[in-house]
Structure 1
């Protein structure tokens, strides 16, 4: 008998994940808050640094693991998730090191921590744009052939395909002109047609005479 997804869930694993996540969130939030305070971000504003990192990491991980977004969005979400995890680990380690050795945050650390919120904002906006962008089809539709308007002559109302595939039958006037030995250019000028039509008319007349 098939089991539903609800019956197949491992509740022990789910509860364990929830407990570990809550503990990690409290410890990470506290340490990153202290790091933000160490670089001059004071009061409740210091909490916004860990919020931006952890929330961005959670959203990026969800987009990555669900795999329902476009391929470029999933790839960016995976990179963003690992970047948030790495940044959180480095931030925690740096804050504990400064606290253990009673160090003042150097200016590169101040710059990096201060750059975290705008960087996370930009990353989240970009991820949102990628996830909402419609998937482009790789199928290329061939364009219809262009019609040469100049080839549509008044001599054949059926259009250029009839002119190109059939030899025009010479008219009485054309027969007289061709019999006199007129060239294709003069014949085209006399009849008001194109030179290649005149050439085919001459060829058709000569073929008829030869037959």
Structure 2
């Protein structure tokens, strides 16, 4: 401990001793005058002591609650007001008693009524102060136990969303339904002279559809699962489910958004992008025209 710390400690000790001596002398002088005032207003020999106790002791208790470091702001405000009211009443009682004793004035009835009302009013104020202190203690206890209760509750483990892996196959573009019946079998991929390149479809303008327009290739394949369970769905199953979801008014799905397809079909993001590209490519690129057999027509009116 340094010299400065020891000096500061002795300073606080002597300061508290001085405050205690001043408070004791003030209470003694005030108690004698308030006791005499109570005797003048009709209190008995023993009951007259209730007036200095109700005022001086209540002021001291309220001052302690006011200065308490653990008291809440509401409790401190009430204790401060109670201390100041008790001190003002004690000052008025001391001054009134000395004035009436000096000039030999009979005690007026308003003074008698006010002195008689002080003890029960002091009791009500002390009870209210005790209630505020108890409520403040309960709040501190609740604040102290709340973090412990929160720490004892273990959060539920977060399980990753299951993602279906696609089969290793060459994806094909499903033909659009024309006429009364539509073929659900995947069309065979025709050989072309050019090398397969990634099909890039321009993004359709929309709200919140900027992050899922990644390029994907029709030839891009996902690794096959090591062991496909009973709930595994192939790419053909997903194509059929997407077509049924688009045709059903009860399902909200945007076939041009991979995220919307993934949420509607509950499939992986890679397969959702593949379905999106297939649907967009089918909608943009027309089917190649079938060769039309030409035949010569004879002119009208010409005999064969």
- Shorter-chain TM-score range: 0.5 to 0.7
- What's 2:241 paired with? 171
- What's 1:125 paired with? 127
Using a 3 Å threshold, how does the CA distance of structure 1 residues 124 and 202 change in structure 2: closer, same or farther?
same
Aligned to 1:33, what secondary structure does the other structure show? helix
Larger of the two Rg values belongs to structure: 2
Q: Which has the higher contact order (CA 8 A, sep 6+)?
A: 1
**Given the alignment, which residue of 197, 200, 206 partners 2:253?**
200
Using a 3 Å threshold, how does the CA distance of structure 1 residues 22 and 171 change in structure 2: closer, same or farther?
closer
Q: 1:67·1:74 contact (CA, 8 Å) conserved in 2? A: no
CA distance in 2, matches of 1:200, 1:172: 9
CA distance in 2, matches of 1:170, 1:98: 107
How many residues align structurally? 167
Q: 1:69·1:131 contact (CA, 8 Å) conserved in 2? A: yes
CA distance in 2, matches of 1:10, 1:45: 37
TM-score, with length taken from structure 2:
0.45
CA distance in 1, matches of 2:68, 2:38: 32
1:95 matched to 2:97? The reply is yes
CA distance in 1, matches of 2:242, 2:85: 86
Gaps in structure 1 of 5+ consecutive residues: 138-156, 159-164, 179-186, 189-194
Whose helix proportion is higher, 1 or 2? 1
- What's 1:146 paired with? none
Q: CA deviation at 1:170?
A: 5.9
Using a 3 Å threshold, how does the CA distance of structure 1 residues 10 and 174 change in structure 2: closer, same or farther?
closer
Q: CA deviation at 1:14?
A: 5.9
TM-score, with length taken from structure 1:
0.62
Q: CA deviation at 1:17?
A: 4.7
Q: CA deviation at 1:50?
A: 0.5
Q: 1:170·1:201 contact (CA, 8 Å) conserved in 2? A: no
Aligned to 2:53, what secondary structure does the other structure show? helix
- What's 1:143 paired with? none
Using a 3 Å threshold, how does the CA distance of structure 1 residues 201 and 101 change in structure 2: closer, same or farther?
same
Deviation digits for residues 19-77 of structure 1 (CA, Å, limit 9, x no counterpart): 54443222211111121122222220010110111111111112223433111212222
- What's 1:141 paired with? none
Gaps in structure 2 of 5+ consecutive residues: 144-160, 163-208, 213-237, 262-274, 285-304
Deviation digits for residues 142-189 of structure 1 (CA, Å, limit 9, x no counterpart): xxxxxxxxxxxxxxx99xxxxxx99x97638837x93xxxxxxxx45x
CA distance in 2, matches of 1:55, 1:170: 88
Aligned to 1:69, what secondary structure does the other structure show? coil
